[in-house]
Amino acid sequence: MALPLVDEASIAADLDEPRKGSSWPRYLAFKAGGTLISLVMVVILGFFAFRILGDPVNSLTKGRNVTAEQKEILIKQYGLDQPLLGQFWHYLTDLAQGRLGDSYYFSKPVSSLILEGLGPTLLLTGSAALISIVLGLWLGQRAAWKHGSGFDRSQTGIALVFWSVPTFWLGLLVLLLFAGVLHWFPTGGMVTAGSQFTGLAYLWDVLRHMVLPVLTMVAVVYAQYLMVMRASLLEEMSSDYLVTARAKGLREDQVRRRHAVPNALLPTVTLIFLTMGGLVAGAVTVETVFSWPGLGLLTFKGLSTPDLPLLQGTFVVFSSIVILTNFFADIVYRLLDPRLRAG
């Protein structure tokens, strides 16, 4: 007896999320629940994962003439004499009150250190993201519209090369060439050490220090937008509505700008949100290479100690940013695509 055919894709979609056209409250509850579970897992992992780095007191006192009694004082001061579950409970209660503990290395609250580094990181990654989005989408749509041309081949080739290059290696090359050899830009930091610039002079100094790290991040990130935009537009170019638009007498430039590109932009919406979160979380390499005083450099210093409260705090912040941007990407995509809102 023949068994009825089963649409496995439909079953998987029903299991993964509410069906298309489901009510907004149900959809938001489903996505918010998944986001909340992810955040809880991040909090738990943020505590236990960094316990494998070793004894932080031994790392702090390495190479120093510290007695056993002084080590014991440090262990009690940092609460490391408590059982692991007791430390975890203390970590949770502090987190519920908005506290992330005190840094071993800086002897300051981790929350204040993160707030100090958040501004420079958002300035750097926000600038890089904006330039990457504009450049990648513009080159991607032009490459797709001139599919098979020399422009298309050269732009996709360059983008793939930059996409595959390790970020730290590219950053070192950029630093060596433009700062070490040509002396066009500063070698690192956010402002010139010891300077007393104010107003426009201060702004110009910050912009000069931003050029090389932003250039490095853009070179790596813009390729993703270019490739996704190119692929999306190539799909749209075979659609019947473009033939209709041409039949109405619209020029090729108008067909591309008014009809093809807006429809091809939908798949890039999710990518924009994902890369925004990923850029902030991935700033560790670039900020370390260029000594940019943001969360990335702060994380690197925490790893070199190791500074458990600092690492826990930056891990929770980075992971939360990525999770929340994923959540907003789902919401915005559903708002923009009428097929997902159809009843």
Q: Is the pLDDT of residue 139 over 70?
A: yes
Classified as helix, coil or strand, 57 is: helix
Cα 105 to Cα 60: distance, rounded to the nearest angstrom: 8
Residues 241-287 pLDDT 10s? 666 666 666 666 666 666 566 666 677 777 777 777 777 766 888 98
Q: Are 216 and 287 within 8 A, CB to CB?
A: no
Core vs surface per residue 105-140: b (16+ CB within 10 A) or e: bbeebbbebbeebbebbbbbbebbbebbbebbbebb
pLDDT at position 340: 56
The pLDDT of residue 245: 61
Nearest to 338 by CA among 20, 56, 25, 6: 20
Q: What value does the mean pLDDT take over residues 22-51?
A: 84
Distances (CA, A) of 39 to 36, 262, 317: 5, 34, 10
Q: d(Cα 201, Cα 190) in Å, to the nearest integer?
A: 13
Residue 164 has pLDDT above 50, yes or no: yes
pTM: 0.77
> Residue 15 above 50 pLDDT?
no
Task: Characterise 107 by phi-psi region: left (phi > 0), alpha (psi -120 to 50), beta (else).
Answer: left
Surface-to-core class of residue 174, CB atoms within 10 Å of its CB (0-12 exposed, 13-18 middle, 19+ buried)? buried
CA 245 – CA 256 distance, rounded (Å) = 10
**Tokens encoding 109:** 């609250």
Residue 50 has pLDDT above 60, yes or no: yes
Give the integer Cα–Cα distance in Å for 341 and 168.
Answer: 42
Residue 48 has pLDDT above 50, yes or no: yes
Do 75 and 61 touch, CB atoms closer than 8 A?
no
Domain ranges of the chain: 110-341
What's the CATH class of domain 110-341?
mainly alpha
pLDDT (tens digit per residue) in 299-334: 888 888 778 888 888 888 888 888 888 888 888 777
Does residue 301 contact residue 60 with C-beta atoms inside 8 Å? Answer: no
Report the distance separating Cα 340 and Cα 343, nearest Å: 8
Write the DSSP string, 177-196: IIIIIS--S-SSSSS-TT--
Pairwise CA distance, residues 253 & 324, whole Å: 37
